[in-house]
Each structure stands twice: as structure tokens, then as C-alpha cells.
């Protein structure tokens, strides 16, 4: 079996991806032409969608659920070098790019898995050609040749060695409906989240927002908007919020 590096070198030799130089990044990041990769690069590094207006925020544990090809992970690793970052991505080709784009960060661990309501197996449903962002999943069994292992946010936290999640990023293409459903027991880990940023996908799977807000409403979070994402901050951690939405931690 070829190693990840061998696969990436083969892809590179076939000119399937190019390299982008990013301001304030020590090394370039790989992107695939004629896909949504370049749009995502712009969204994260130029639009600065994850540049949260939070003072005195020094995360120690970051969970990036739905890490795609690693741009958000690289952004977080560069901005918060002290943090341990666990990046989770189920789609095999995206995961190859994720490992390539983050291999130079010592504080990043990549998991080829899917965030789900339980530890089991899912398979990826066919997506739109050229769109490396949008794909959906459904339950399957271990004997399915397309099966991918799933994990839960509670499991990631338990295995991390930390008691709390300082920053939880969720972009899981509709799976938030299952992850925040009562059967997934989100109340076991939501109280342990300090800051959460999430993109909801009702346009892909109806019921995502209902499940999410039902779960989150049982806990005390301040909410704001950051680009296409919703930002939630544990209220007890907030010292002040100004008229521009700048949050200062205690």
C-alpha cells in the first residue's frame, strides 16, 4: 500500500493540484484547480471567517470537525500554536490533502473518520462534480466496501486528555442533525464547550437547525454571526461585549 506521501507525490507529479502562498504562513498550501478549494482558501485566509473577535482567548484544545483539506486547521494551528488540534475528515481524497497541508504542524492530529451520533460506520453519498465541500453520509455496516468509521465529539474529548473543548468547529454537511439529536446525547459534552463555530446545512438536510437549536437552547451561550457560520460563546466566560461585537474573556 502506498503511503500518504507517495500518493501526494503522485498527485503532484500529475499536476492535479497547485500550491498557494499564504500571507503569514511559513509554507504554501495545496489546492486542486477547478474545485471549490480556491474559494475555500479565500474564505478562510482573505475573508478571515475564523478570525473571531475574542480578546484573551488562548485555546488549548481545538476540535475541527469536518476539516476538509486542512485550510481551517492550518489557520488555527498558525494562529494558536499552543493548542492541540484534532482534525476529523471522512472523505478519503480530502483527507489526503488534509494530511499534506498540515504535516508541518507538530500540534495537529488528523483522523480519517466522520463525526456522527455514535461510533459505527457510514458511507459517503455521491456529491456534485467539482464540489469538494458538499457531500452527505448515511449509516452503513462494517462489511460495506465503502464503509468509513465514525466517532463522536464525546469520544474525541475523552481521548484528548483534556476536560474541556476550547474551540469546536463543526462543518459536517448536514450530519449536525444526527450529532445534535437527543439520541446522540449532546448534553454530555455541550457544557464542556467554551467556543463553538458551526455552519448549518438545512438546504442539504431538513431538520439540522431544529436539532441544533433544541440542544443548544438548553445551555447558556452568547450567539453571533461570523461569515456563513454561527458563533457560540459560553456566557459565563464573557467579561464584556462592545457595540461592534468584540468579546473580552474574563
Provide the CATH number for the domain around residue 145: 3.40.50.150
Q: Beta strands of 181-228 (E only): which ranges?
A: 193-198, 221-226
Q: How many of the other CB atoms lie within 10 Å of CB of 231?
A: 21
Asked if residue 138 belongs to a domain, the reply is yes
Asked if residue 121 belongs to a domain, the reply is yes
* DSSP annotation string for 52-120: --EET---SEEEEES-TTSHHHHHHHHH-TTSEEEEE--SHHHHHHHHHHHTT-TTEEEE--EE-SSSS
Asked if residue 11 belongs to a domain, the reply is no
Residue 125 domain boundaries: 52-249
Of 132-146, 149-163, 172-186, 206-220, least confident by mean pLDDT is 132-146
List residues bridging with 61 in a β-sheet.
Answer: 84
Asked if residue 220 lies in contact with residue 234, where contact means CB atoms within 8 angstroms, the answer is yes
Q: Give the three cell numbers for residue 189.
A: 459534552
Q: Are strands 193-198 and 84-88 parallel, antiparallel or unpaired?
A: unpaired
Per the structure, the count of domains in the chain is: 1
Asked if residue 41 belongs to a domain, the reply is no
Asked if residue 155 belongs to a domain, the reply is yes
pTM of this structure: 0.90
Q: What is the pLDDT of residues 167-205, one digit of tens each?
A: 999 999 889 999 999 999 999 999 999 999 999 999 888
Asked if residue 33 belongs to a domain, the reply is no
Asked if residue 184 belongs to a domain, the reply is yes
Q: What is the pLDDT of residues 31-81, one digit of tens each?
A: 988 888 999 999 999 999 999 999 999 999 999 999 999 999 999 999 999
Amino acid at each position: 500500500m502506498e503511503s500518504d506521501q507517495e500518493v501526494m507525490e503522485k498527485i503532484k507529479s500529475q499536476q492535479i493540484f497547485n500550491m498557494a502562498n499564504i500571507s503569514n504562513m511559513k509554507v504554501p498550501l495545496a489546492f486542486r484547480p477547478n474545485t471549490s478549494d480556491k474559494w475555500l482558501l479565500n474564505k478562510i485566509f482573505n475573508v478571515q471567517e475564523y478570525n473571531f473577535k475574542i480578546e484573551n482567548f488562548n485555546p488549548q484544545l481545538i476540535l475541527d470537525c469536518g476539516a476538509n483539506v486542512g485550510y481551517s486547521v492550518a489557520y488555527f494551528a498558525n494562529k494558536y500554536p499552543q493548542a492541540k488540534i484534532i482534525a476529523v475528515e471522512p472523505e478519503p481524497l480530502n483527507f489526503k490533502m488534509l494530511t499534506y497541508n498540515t504535516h508541518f504542524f507538530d500540534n495537529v492530529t488528523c483522523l480519517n473518520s466522520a463525526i456522527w451520533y455514535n461510533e459505527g460506520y457510514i458511507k459517503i453519498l455521491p456529491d456534485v462534480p467539482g464540489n469538494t465541500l458538499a457531500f452527505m453520509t448515511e449509516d452503513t455496516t462494517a462489511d460495506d466496501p465503502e464503509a468509513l468509521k465514525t466517532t463522536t465529539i464525546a469520544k474525541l474529548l475523552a481521548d484528548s486528555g483534556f476536560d474541556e473543548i476550547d474551540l469546536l468547529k463543526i462543518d459536517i454537511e448536514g450530519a449536525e442533525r444526527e450529532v445534535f439529536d437527543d439520541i446522540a446525547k449532546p448534553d454530555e459534552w455541550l457544557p464542556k464547550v467554551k467556543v463553538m463555530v458551526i455552519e448549518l446545512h438545512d438546504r442539504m438536510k431538513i431538520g439540522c437547525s431544529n436539532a441544533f437549536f433544541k440542544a443548544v437552547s438548553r445551555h447558556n451561550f452568547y450567539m453571533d454571526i461570523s461569515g456563513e457560520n454561527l458563533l457560540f460563546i459560553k456566557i459565563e466566560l464573557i467579561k464584556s461585549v462592545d457595540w461592534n461585537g468584540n468579546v473580552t474573556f474574563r
